[in-house]
Chain A
Amino acid sequence: MSIRVENITYVYGGGTPYEKTALSGVDLTIEKGEFVGIIGHTGSGKSTLIQHLNGLIHPTEGRVLVDGVDLAGKSREAAAKRHTVGMVFQYPEQQLFEETVAQDIAFGPRNLGCSEEEVDARVHEAMSFVGLDYETYAGRSPFRLSGGQMRRVAIAGVIAMKPDFLILDEPSAGLDPVGRREIFSQIRKWYEEGAFSVILVSHNMDDIAKLATRLLVMNHGRCILDGDPMDIFLHHREELEAAGVDVPPLTKTLLYLKGRGIPVPERAVACEEAANALAKTLKGGKSC
């Protein structure tokens, strides 16, 4: 299973004075099992790219294939493939509309034409997936929940579609620190359970460093870097800065210390890991 993006170009408002090329010549393949992080400053084409991945918009030039099926097609097969790529937009709680949590989550599976038993099973499954207790929340109005809970309901609504790929656009935007930690530990858990591949768009380099197995850096509608996140953070700092993004604060600190001649594990992604190693060096070595 894979998403194949074949040399796509996308132009907004073609033929008007407002014409703008949002993507030019993006070519990549996302395999099942990958955790892809996408970074880039505002307007670099991230959102346009992810909307292509489940056929919400179609490229001006080029093709997007999911398992070899062109998403721009009108066939039933293309529609089915579009639904194997789930999309969680920014502030997804703003799309809630039903009277109860359970009904809102059931919206997707019902549209897929699932039987009532199947819909019910999926709602149960999706709610336990995002850590919402069915008995407590199923009958409540989604509009009476807290921000973090609303977001979980919205994510559950996408998960109930049983996608193979899950795209998340800034899933932690506007949440408090506890909320963000919860969301990210959930995402990590789902990914490690192998439920689906994850494509994560984020401005937070820390999260990307901790989670992603592959990193795409977007700038001016092009994908300028593609590879292991740590390799990119360690060896392509100039390109990253030119693209308007930064390396994670932890990596930055460790690189600085290394530059001062202090031996540190610069590939560390967790603060604890780095702190322990640093403490060891400081105690074991000569005092500085």
Chain B
Amino acid sequence: MLTDITLGQYYPGNSFLHRMDPRAKILCTMIFIVAIFLANSLWSYLLVTAFILASIAVSGVPVKMVAKAVKPLWIILVFTLLIHVLTTPGTPLVSFGWFSISEEGVRNGILMTLRLVYLIAFSSLLTYTTSPIVLTDGIEALLTPWKRVGVPAHELAMMMTIALRFIPTLLEETDRIMKAQSSRGADFTTGNLWQRAKSMVPLLVPLFISAFRRADDLATAMEARCYRGGEGRTKMHQLLYTWRDGAAFAAVAVVTAALAGMRWFL
């Protein structure tokens, strides 16, 4: 049913990556994603592959789950491959009348597609090993220095936290109302577009009513606990860098340096 949707796809565990500081994880992910684009030779691609496989192994997330994160984007991947294969000029490999496939095209296509796969796979590791709430904490901490130039870091983080908190609740509610209306003979799955849109009314009206009621209750509850914005607010879970984060930064730095070296000096 609907409630089976796992949001943020957190995969519970207690690995090295799970226990890292979210700020370090976000930064390492960003740095490595940029580093992936430095790779342009066979050896550099092997290094990237090895690093990603090692990270997956360390995280304890099954490779199957990582593959599941890549799968929904197959259309983009196939599109990228085709564009490169069909439009890159160079030594023709085969030609059919007005268009030809070049050796460079095939090579570029495969490399670009691989890059995208790596990019998705590696960033999926971030969401697999970090629960949404911790991730929000990390984002808030990273955005805080930008407050001076007007980035509402705390407000953004609070909005994300509230949204994340209520998505499962609303999904559960949707599921319950859907069941209640289907036991009154409602049908949400058949009919043409117009009929289906109309059949959503018995679902959406109660859902909106309850969402507004919940928002109201939450506002009251927050006010009752003297919430007045982020100024001077302390945290229950302080973010702390540990040796793990140092080690991860070092590993990413070494790999990035190696990739940069291979690109410009080999």
Contacts and interface: CB of A to CB of B under 8 A. Distances in A.
Contact of A107 (B6, B176, B179, B202): B202
A18 B65 CA distance: 14
A107 B180 contact: no
A101 B141 CA distance: 51
A107 B209 CA distance: 19
Contacts of B209: 94, 143
Interface in B165-180: 176-177, 179-180
Interface string B174-193: 00110111111111000000
B145 interface: no
B210 A94 contact: yes
Contact of A95 (B1, B180, B187): B180
B149 interface: no
A173 interface: no
A220 to B, nearest CB: 21
A13 B4 contact: yes
Contacts of B177: 94-95
Interface string A102-114: 0000011001100
Given A13-B4, A17-B12, A18-B6, A95 B181 contact: yes
Given A17-B11, A18-B6, A158 B184 contact: yes
Given A16-B6, A97-B205, A87 B183 contact: yes
A96 B207 CA distance: 10
Contacts of B205: 97
A111 B187 contact: yes
Contacts of A16: 4, 6
A89 B12 CA distance: 32
B56 to A, nearest CB: 16
Nearest to A157: B184
A95 B185 CA distance: 13
Interface residues of B, number: 22
Interface in A104-145: 107-108, 111-112, 143
Interface stretch (A1-9, A51-59, A224-232): A51-59
Given A51-B179, A96-B206, A161 B6 contact: no
B176 A83 contact: no
B214 to A, nearest CB: 11
Most A CB contacts (10 A, CB to CB) among B1, B12, B179 go to: B179
Most A CB contacts (10 A, CB to CB) among B12, B179, B185, B209 go to: B185
A94 B169 CA distance: 14
B201 interface: yes
Interface string A223-251: 00000000000000000000000000000
Contact of A112 (B176, B185, B201): B185
A83 B180 contact: no
A45 interface: no
B185 A111 contact: yes
Contacts of A95: 177, 180-181, 202, 206
Contacts of B206: 94-97
Interface of B: 1, 4, 6, 11-12, 176-177, 179-187, 201-202, 205-206, 209-210
Q: Which 8 A-B pairs rank lowest in CB-CB distance, beginning with the nearest?
A: A111-B185, A97-B205, A108-B184, A87-B183, A95-B180, A56-B179, A89-B180, A97-B202
15 contacts: A56-B182, A83-B183, A83-B185, A89-B180, A94-B206, A95-B180, A95-B202, A96-B206, A97-B205, A107-B181, A107-B185, A107-B186, A111-B185, A111-B187, A157-B184
